[in-house]
Structure 1
Amino acid sequence: MRKLTERDFVQKSQDALHACLATALKDADDESWAEQFLEAEATISTYLQAVEDGSPSLPDRQDLAYACALVLVMSQALTDLDFELIGRLYAPEVPVSMFALSKDIADMKARAVAAAEKLGGAHDMPRGPADSSTDGDVPF
């Protein structure tokens, strides 16, 4: 049996994250959709504030990865590069510097919020990504 590589761990984490998001978003109604977006945005803000303060009390890396993926999918702003970084963050076997990622995470949050506002705001956001595919799957 071959030894798993870093790429294998990232792919495994991306698959797991995809399954979590598909489950979370599949049956969400408009109210829970907006609530999930706002909670995820708050997790990202907590992380960014902790980094800015130089605090070692950062959110769990998998919680942060999930929050980033959630806001980007919901706002239809997820890119392949985002999903690669999020997959690395979600994979506990892959070493990452939580402080070094702050610029990328801040950019993801800004793009997600801007895209959500363009779609009509978090509270009125269309159910977009999950509803637009024919099989109800999360599109990434």
Structure 2
Amino acid sequence: MSRLKELRNYVDEELNKMEDASKRTSAIAHLYGVSLAATMIAKKRGLNPEIASMAAMLHDLHAYKTSSYDDHAHLGAELARKILKELGLTDEAETEIICSAIYHHDDKFDIDGSMDEVLKDADVIHHCMNDMSKAVKEKEKQRFEKLCMEFGM
């Protein structure tokens, strides 16, 4: 089994513990949607699509497990580190890349490392394109416009 599939199985098990079916469905849609977007963005930018997808699968897991978005990016990076260590799916360098991306993913106005930017951009794509009837959030507007230009949309 691939390590991405193993991670997805782990995440699925965690999400299936959510009692609220509507929230569970939204969580699954978001993590898988961001994961797909991260894979595509990383591939286009010459980065490791598997690592991008793994970061995306974990990026909001802390929030879903705790039902809180308070400091979810930083706490999510800690949770991701524990999960990756427990599962033994990544080496130390890959773990650092994934955890950095998760740690910074909520800082949409800042520019960080290349994989951090992939996760931020994938998160924005899903937020903005999952429901096109909603207005783009102010903190995501500039990033979304750049993504539209990058992808010719």
- State the TM-score, normalizing by the size of structure 1: 0.35
- State the TM-score, normalizing by the size of structure 2: 0.33
Greater relative contact order, per chain length (Cα 8 Å cut-off, separation 6+): 1
Which has the larger helix fraction? Answer: 2
